[in-house]
Amino acid sequence: MNWSNRPAWLLPVIASAVCVVIAVIALINATGQAPSGTPTARESGQALIGGDFELVAHTGETVTQADFEGRPMLIYFGFTYCPDICPMSLQVMAQALQQLDENERAQFQPLLISLDPERDTPEALAQYVETPVFPEGLVGLTGSPEQIAGVASAYRVYYARAEADASMADYLIDHSSLIYLMDQQGRFVEVFPHATPPERIAQRLQRFLQEDAA
């Protein structure tokens, strides 16, 4: 196939396919698909996913994980130039939160952590998080390439720079596409692939709050 003559629609299709395949692989790795009887990470109390971070919020402030303690977090890793998967995933997160009642919803802190620190400045993120279909109160986080690499590794997020065609953005980022639910202490609870129906995520969030209150 002559790549210089490929139709313009093909690249986003390939990028999406890569995103989806990576999401599935990442999910299998993250959940471990433990054989029955094997304790999950949460049950055995091991923090296999997540951990402390220091990043820069879309307000320009330096923040650490401690700043979010006390509230369960919904975290998505992505980038503002993403043509399709990231906006779709953030909408799924918003729709799931929308199905909770006001008190339930107010407990969760939605976060977007950029995998493109070069272009995703705090200013760029500040604009992006205001997108009306995204979760209310979404906080965008970016940082130095080292800070982003550190948090991505702690959350076992795969990401890699991919060249795009000159007519589009200069480059894209292939990345895993999962919504992480972390508890009030920043411990891993569950991941949702971005294609999870929002109703199912909402049910899980409600169950999480009930278990937590019990």
Q: Which among 25-33, 86-94, 95-103, 161-169 is the span making contact with Ni ion, rule CB under 5 A?
A: 86-94
What is the rounded distance in angstroms from the CA atom of residue 159 to the CA atom of residue 77?
9
- Tell me the residue number closest to Ni ion, measured at CB: 82
Site size with Ni ion, rule: CB under 5 A: 4
In terms of C-beta density within 10 A (0-12 exposed, 13-18 middle, 19 or more buried), how is residue 175 classed? buried
* Of 78 and 140, CB closest to Ni ion: 78
x/- map, 133-162, Ni ion, by CB under 5 A? ------------------------------
CA 112 remoteness from chain centre: 6
- The one among 11, 15, 30, 85 contacting Ni ion by CB under 5 A: 85
How is residue 127 written in tokens? 């604009």
Does the footprint of Ni ion cover residue 26 (CB under 5 A)?
A: no
CA distance 139 to 110: 6
Q: How far is the CB of 107 from Ni ion (least distance, A)?
A: 27
If one counts every other C-beta atom within 10 angstroms of the C-beta of residue 79, the result is: 25
Please identify, using beta-carbon distances, which residue of 34 and 195 lies nearer to Ni ion: 195
* 83: number of Cβ within 10 Å: 15
Residues 53-82 that bind Ni ion (CB under 5 A): 78, 82
Q: Candidates 86, 88, 94, 179: give the one binding Ni ion (CB under 5 A).
A: 86
Question: Would you say 72 or 78 has its CB closer to Ni ion?
Answer: 78
The conformational region for residue 144 under phi > 0 = left, psi -120 to 50 = alpha, else beta, is beta
- The binding site for Ni ion (CB under 5 A) comprises 78, 82, 85-86
